[in-house]
Structure 1
Amino acid sequence: MVTLRNAGLSLTPRNIDTQSLSLISWNTDGFSSRPVSRASLILDHILEGPKSPDIIFLQEVTPFVRAFLLKDARVRAAFLATDAEDQTGLFEDVPFLTMTLVSSERFADSLHSQKQGQGVQGGEDCMLGRVARVTLPSKYKRDALCVDVVSPTAPGAFFRLINVHLDSLGDTLHYRAQQIEILANVLHEPGCSGGIIAGDFNAISPEDDGLIDKNGLVDA
């Protein structure tokens, strides 16, 4: 179990054989004066390398930024997006949310075709399982966006990718403490063999440093 704060990471999860997955996480800044232009530059930066990441975690994605990403030709050609088909109530009472993109080459079927929480088979590397948002106690109505990954050779277990944007500002430490405890428990659910919690932790106080060890997580 590993946590990650806004950085790229190469990982080799347990029970996914010797396969490795690359992950990039980025807060797109929903309060930017030009959020779509900023998101376009961020996407350019992420995809400008010789090889695109397998997984992209985005936070503070506004409705307009989301529409831009879903229409971008590079995203449509190379990635699967969470909540791409059914966006009913997605931005209800919130100005922005998290969004996860996964490589359509590494994960060959659609995330958003899962209507009943059933796993779907992907490509020869990995399979995609359940996709869900876990409601968190929060001043700002934050949640955790979870995507389960299953090895073709170990269908009884899964590896969980969790995209988070924890509560910010000094007066919400008690919320962050509850949120990390819940997320750690999500990684201990039956069948889960480990996972990555990545995104914007808003770890702005000395007390935040102790939350990782307290909940049995390892800071990457």
Structure 2
Amino acid sequence: MSSAKPAPVLEALTSALNVPIQKREDSFYEPRQQGYYSPSPEGTWQLAQTNQTHAPNHSLPALNRRNIRLISWNIDVLTPFHEERMSAALTYLDELVFSTPPDVAIVVFLQEMGTSDMQQIRESVWIKKRFYLTDVDETSWLSPYYGTTMLVDRRLQINSVFRVPWYSKFDRDGLFVDICISESAKANANPRFIRLCNTHLESLVADPPVRPIQIAVASQYLHQSSVSCGVVAGDLNAIQPFDRTLHTENKLNDAYLMCGGSEDSEDGYTWGQQVPEALRNRFGCSRMDKILYMGSIQPTSFERIGIDVKVAEEHRQKMREAGQLEWVTDHYGVMADFVLLEGGELGQIGQSAML
């Protein structure tokens, strides 16, 4: 496994820091449709067809069509020992997925993906058995750094996948997936969706602020007429006072707060606990990672994940010798269970064909 520091990522970040943000032509910020991927019987990833029907398979039970679990985790792209850390992260996520009630659909949001991360995801047997991938490489990313991807339960019916570039100096965007739902309580023939957005909002402090623009655009897409309910989640880089109110200003709810959490609470922080002491002393701890939602959906539980997850024992000594911490990433992840309201049910054309 490689342990070299990802110099191109650092160079790209430094370059972006040293130039002002540039507004591009309006067409640049239009939605960009993309495909998604399903494993073939031979185990290779191939483009899936929207709304495709799979032959029934009973390796997983039918869905509880009113419940869905969302997991979000940022795996630090700037720290060396990429493969070792991502391997441990995937092992942990496998255990988390396995511990989930088998009739509950799962969607996993990942941020700060690199090319080696995508290779490890493609090769993971447990992912092939249960999930679609929105990405198998960096093709749809605005740059090969700071990529995002989603793992989507293959019992769900995907209507579309698209990306919306944000106004950003770091090439950030929103990755959207529309999942079909039915609303038995409404006599409405028009298709309706739960729209999920995985994002990594602008890093650091900007003047004027950029994150309010980014979350406002995400909210606009969640509030479109075809969307029954929506979720935007990920590393929202909430490090300034204005970040605390971005959800209310954009007609969104904060799952952590709605489940009883409070600001400035140790049990809410997702960054700062797993960084070098000098960084923690300088920046403190913060609740960077959030799950925001709107519409006919309600969180029933919220928790942090990835706490004190470290690389495999056989890699720790060489990481210590290189002056690196043993944790998989500097972020805790977040996880929320949701229930659909107003008679909404997750669309399920047929059981996914599991390998």
* Superposed pair shares fold, TM > 0.5: yes
Alignment partner for residue 133 of structure 2, among 72, 81, 84?
81
Question: Does 1:205 pair with 2:240?
Answer: yes
| Compared CA separation, residues 207 and 42, structure 1 to 2 (3 A) | same
How many angstroms apart in 1 are the aligned matches of 2:208 and 2:123?
37
The CA deviation string for residues 169-191 of structure 1, in whole angstroms up to 9 with x for no partner, is: 01266210100100110111121
TM-score w.r.t. structure 2 length?
0.48
Gaps of 5+ in 1: 1-16, 108-126
Matching of residue 171 in structure 1 with residue 209 in structure 2: no
Change (3 A) 1:24 1:88: closer
How far did 1:139 drift?
1.2
Partner of 1:4: none
Partner of 1:55: 107
CA contact (8 A) 1:63 1:96 kept: no
Cα deviation 1:110-159 (Å, max 9, x = unaligned): xxxxxxxxxxxxxxxxx211100111101101010000011256662111
- CA–CA distance in structure 1, aligned partners of residues 206 and 117 of structure 2: 29
Aligned length: 183
Distance 1:34 1:88 in 2: 20
1:98 paired with 2:128, answer: no
Matched, 1:25 2:69: no
| Ranges of 4+ aligned residues in structure 1 off by more than 4 Å | 152-155
Does 2:143 align with 1:134? no
Match of 1:40 in 2: 87
**Does residue 148 of the first structure (1) align with residue 178 of the second (2)?**
yes
> What is residue 250 of structure 2 aligned with on the other side?
215
- TM-score, normalization: structure 1? 0.76
Question: 1:196 is matched by which residue type in structure 2?
Answer: V
Aligned equivalent of 2:116 = 64
Structure 2 residue matching 1:64: 3-state secondary structure: helix
Which 5+ residue runs of structure 2 have no aligned equivalent?
1-63, 185-189, 256-355
Distance 2:163 2:216 in 1: 16
Q: What is the deviation of 1:165?
A: 0.3
Structure 1 Cα separation of the partners of residues 162 and 65 of structure 2: 26
Residues 98 and 173 of structure 1: CA distance in aligned 2, closer, same or farther (over 3 Å): farther
Larger Rg: 2
User: d(CA) in 2 for partners of 1:80 and 1:190?
Assistant: 26
Q: What is residue 230 of structure 2 aligned with on the other side?
A: 195
